[in-house]
């Protein structure tokens, strides 16, 4: 069964609801799904499964919080929705990229639906705002960028505009070197508020939570875990722990950081749109510009990319962080006057990347001592795009769970021809390191 191709879209109100009441009520006979991982991927997956009528238990070693030094990766993320390849240019695997284009549009429409309801927008921290992308050369002269722009235009996003006048309108320094730009309306997410809201939502829908660290490869302990939690299937949504829980040695961290500055209009003109220069458009893979309003008071300044650096010991005085701020100040005059958030000045975290990028797939290895296939479903490796891909990945996970419960034999992820182009130019970042990224979203 080719589950990875031509999967139906997931739609707000039809398939899921952002209210605590379930869309489909559970029955005594409803299957029970154990989700390992309590970040955005795990919570959105729980939401989708709950509204399909499943019983859900989420196990996580920690949960969303307001600690200055222990927030989840999903909270630290920039959480700017982007069409793949994202600003970081890091999702380059052809199979993964073809699915990511579909996943991101499912998420786009879901976040847009939430943001369209004033009460929900405020409660969830989801807003639709202008998001501008700037380029050092005319887009029409760059085949890869022109192809990507054409896909975006036809993708179904709102408010698209290709106009070099955006540089002046968004106060970009004319000496910085940008000559072309386009803009669209995109979900911009206050991740602290959104994670708290998502947690409350799935609890309201009946999810159970367990605070615990599950260690080791899930496959050898699948039978024991299912028995212990009375679970019919397991979803692995653990990010970097994919190395351990999925026996996947291709997972690796990329350290990123974002400076948080006061954006109330007193020190510099208030920034009310996202402004970025992508890794694949910059003259240097380190020259990433990432300016995103977090909420009405905070602007995020980024970003940096440090593969296989796992120590969270960056400070505002770290040279790479200082250079990051200097780049953004050179790009947008006035930022040199910005004051850092005194409570939480620097957000830093590890993005969960994988060499072949995102994995949304059944466990392909045989279940030891069993004549039936494993009922583990994986969803990890989203890297800096967890928020952008969330609902799309969750929709596919739900179908894979359905398949696993039937004990159908698993099929590996395959190329999705419905989201491809005629060239492979978009699956490459040219001279840029495929592991490079900004501290984008997760």
User: Of how many residues is the chain composed?
Assistant: 442
Q: How many CA atoms lie within 13 A of 342 on its CB side?
A: 0
Report how far apart, in Å, the C-alpha atoms of 358 and of each of 235, 353, 355 are: 15, 8, 9
Return the SS3 of 181: strand
- Beta bridge pairs of residue 181: 134
Report how far apart, in Å, the C-alpha atoms of 351 and of each of 54, 142, 426 are: 30, 29, 22
E strands within 208-330? Answer: 208-211, 233-236, 251-262, 274-277, 289-293, 298-302, 306-307
- Distance CA(279)–CA(52), nearest Å, equals 39
- 255 annotated to a ligand binding site: no
For the chain, what is the largest distance between any 2 Cα atoms, rounded to a whole number of angstroms?
A: 67
- 384 annotated to a ligand binding site: yes
- 238 annotated to a ligand binding site: yes
CB atoms within 10 A of CB 164: 15
111, 187 contact by CB (below 8 A): yes
Report which secondary-structure segment, H or E, holds 203.
Answer: helix 191-204
- Distance CA(28)–CA(252), nearest Å, equals 41
- Distance CA(256)–CA(242), nearest Å, equals 19
- Distance CA(149)–CA(155), nearest Å, equals 10
Nearest residue to 382 (alpha-carbon basis) of 106, 39, 36: 39
What is the rounded (10 degree) CA torsion for 180, 93, 354, 101? 60
Q: Which residues are annotated as a binding site?
A: 238, 351, 384
Q: Which residues are annotated as a binding site for D-dopa?
A: 351, 384
Q: Which residues are annotated as a binding site for FAD?
A: 238
């Amino acid at each position: 069964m080719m589950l990875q191709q031509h999967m139906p879209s997931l739609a707000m109100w039809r398939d899921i609801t952002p209210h605590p009441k379930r869309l489909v009520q559970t029955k005594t006979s409803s299957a029970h799904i154990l989700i390992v991982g309590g970040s955005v991927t795990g919570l959105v997956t729980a939401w989708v499964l709950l509204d399909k009528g499943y019983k859900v238990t989420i196990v996580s070693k920690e949960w969303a919080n307001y600690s200055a030094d222990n927030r989840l990766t999903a909270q630290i993320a920039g959480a700017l929705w982007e069409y793949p390849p994202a600003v970081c240019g890091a999702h380059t695997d052809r199979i993964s990229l073809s699915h990511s284009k579909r996943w991101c549009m499912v998420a786009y429409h879901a976040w847009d639906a939430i943001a369209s309801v004033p009460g929900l927008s405020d409660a969830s921290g989801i807003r639709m705002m202008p998001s501008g992308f700037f380029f050092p050369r005319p887009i029409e002269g760059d085949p890869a960028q022109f192809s990507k722009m054409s896909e975006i235009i036809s993708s179904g996003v709102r408010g698209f505009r290709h106009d070099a006048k955006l540089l002046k309108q968004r106060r970009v320094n004319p000496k910085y070197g940008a000559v072309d730009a386009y803009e669209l309306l995109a979900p911009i997410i206050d991740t602290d508020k959104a994670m708290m809201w998502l947690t409350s939502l799935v609890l309201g829908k009946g999810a159970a939570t367990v605070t615990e660290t599950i260690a080791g490869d899930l496959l050898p302990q699948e039978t024991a875990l299912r028995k212990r939690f009375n679970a019919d299937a397991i979803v692995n949504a653990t990010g970097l722990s994919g190395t351990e829980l999925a026996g996947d040695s291709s997972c690796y961290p990329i350290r990123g950081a974002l400076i948080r500055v006061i954006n109330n209009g007193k020190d510099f003109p208030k920034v009310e749109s996202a402004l970025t220069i992508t890794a694949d458009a910059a003259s240097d893979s380190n020259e990433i510009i990432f300016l995103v309003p977090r909420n009405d008071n905070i602007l995020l300044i980024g970003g940096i990319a440090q593969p296989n650096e796992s120590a969270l010991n960056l400070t505002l005085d770290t040279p790479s962080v200082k250079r990051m701020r200097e780049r953004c100040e050179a790009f947008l005059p006035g930022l040199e006057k910005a004051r850092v958030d005194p409570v939480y000045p620097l957000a830093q975290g590890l993005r969960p990347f994988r060499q072949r990028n995102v994995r949304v797939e059944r466990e392909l290895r045989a279940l030891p001592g069993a004549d039936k296939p494993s009922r583990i479903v994986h969803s990890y490796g989203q890297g800096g795009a967890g928020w952008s891909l969330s609902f799309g990945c969750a929709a596919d996970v739900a179908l894979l769970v359905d398949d696993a419960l039937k004990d159908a034999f698993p099929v590996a992820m395959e190329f999705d021809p419905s989201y491809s182009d005629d060239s492979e130019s978009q699956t490459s970042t040219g001279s840029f390191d495929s592991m490079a990224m900004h501290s984008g979203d997760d």
